[in-house]
Amino acid sequence: MRHARRRIVRRVTRLAAVGGLLLGGAMVTQAAMASETPPAARTLAASDGTGGTGAALVARLGTARTAGDWIGADGRPAVAVTDEAAAREVRNAGADAKVVSHSMNELKSATATLRSAPRVAGTAWAVDYRTNRVVVSADSTVSAGDWSRMSQVAARIGGFVRMEHAKGTFTTRLNGAQPILSTGGRCSAGFNVTNGQSDFILTAGHCGPTGSTWFAGNQGNQQLGQTVSSTFPGNDFSLVQYASGKAGDGADVVAIGGGNGVRITGTADASVGQRVFRSGSTSGLHDGQVTALNATVNYPEGTVTGLIQTNVCAEPGDSGGPLFSDGIALGVTSGGSGDCRAGGTTFFQPVTRALAALNVKLIVSAQTAGGAPRSASPAPSASAAQGAVAPNAASPGSSAPVTGTPGQTLLARLTDTRNVGPGLLVIAGSLIALVATRYIRAEQDRRAYQRYYSATWG
């Protein structure tokens, strides 16, 4: 009976050890797969069959017969057109049509004339699709003489150019969500991106030139990485390469405060009228609407073009922080006027343009990528999904905890599923158990033989 129990114990031990070997192998394999290049983010493209989105209709009708598109309060796409025939085509496609006096070609010609005029710091302009006007804004630093000269330029272009005063001053927001610090000041991290070999932070270009060293944490005592590419003025984006080469866990999440985050699942171009959300290390999470596209801002440091204009507030230190809606990355904070007490205007560098220029792609989780190929994403275009819901019904996106903070302990790194340490420990323990059971059995057999030999020859 005693021998039978020993045999059962030995068999159970061997089975457990074999199971441990299999489990450890699976953990190592999982860690190896997790350390591979993250999958490509999904890009939202305009529908190619029905032509039922504003962007698709504008592309089909052309800029000589249209003057932009936007999302209405009811979530339906709307298109500005210059003739009734184009209006009928838009309505037949299921969108709202507004007949206007000036085509996009005329509006773009007006903005080109403004750009060719002597530069005045503290001014900005953009096309307002919904009113069919070019709106020129001047902040409090613009002198009476410069205002008069700009007004004369606007008057020569035509009555569809409107001058207005802006609250505060147009400045870059130097100082996402998570704070990052350098000798030049504090900015916010935007989105995590990759080129297939290394991971980076996409943030604002005015935050620091190439070669700037960045630190994480409120004390600035944890080196984060270094700026390897920066473009400002003209555009406003830069890449900060992680010192470790990898962004770590939670790379697809942007922080919104209180230890909470939003999971980013793809990229798209913004739409006028779209409800959007911005997160920054100074003011946290705020929302508003896209009011214009392709905006031009004359910062004191230089002119930046092609920006997204919104009525979302921002404050110094929010620069580089992410702009998103329903989990879709749209832009990084460039600058603006006003603050989050009185309100104001904030401009954003479009993410799609930055990704294309830098030849990188957004990092998203394997679950949201849905097995997408790991090659570079195709060039994104306007999203067909942006007008699927009313602007007020839009949300930041699916919630997720903020993880992957710098300076993890050794224990945290060893228990991280992206490291092979735990799997190797399980394999080693299983091998020790197998060797131990073999040794115990051999020792028991040797002692049994000694007892038999002594009884036989005693």
Residue 339 is among the residues annotated as catalytic for this protein: no
Report how far residue 331's alpha carbon sits from residue 317's, in angstroms, rounded to the nearest whole number.
16
Based on the residue annotation, tell me whether 319 is a catalytic residue of this protein: yes
Spot the catalytic one: 69, 128, 139, 236.
236
3-state secondary structure of 348: strand
Question: Looking at 182, 206, 238, 279, which residue is catalytic?
Answer: 206
408/372 Cα distance (integer angstroms)? 30
Tell me how crowded residue 189 is: count the other CB atoms within 10 A of its CB. 27
Residue whose C-alpha is closest to residue 308's, from 288, 284, 285, 326: 288
Three-state DSSP class for residue 230: strand
Task: Indicate if 236 belongs to the active site.
Answer: yes
Q: Tell me the H-state helices in 340-420.
A: 351-358, 366-369, 410-414
**CA–CA dist 406, 201 (Å, integer):** 14
Report the candidate in 233, 240, 262 with the shortest Cα–Cα distance to residue 250: 262
H/E stretch holding 433 reads helix 421-457
Dist CA 386 CA 403 (whole Å): 29
Parallel, antiparallel, or unpaired for β 185-188 and 179-182? antiparallel
Instruction: Give the residue numbers annotated as catalytic, written as ranges.
Output: 206, 236, 319
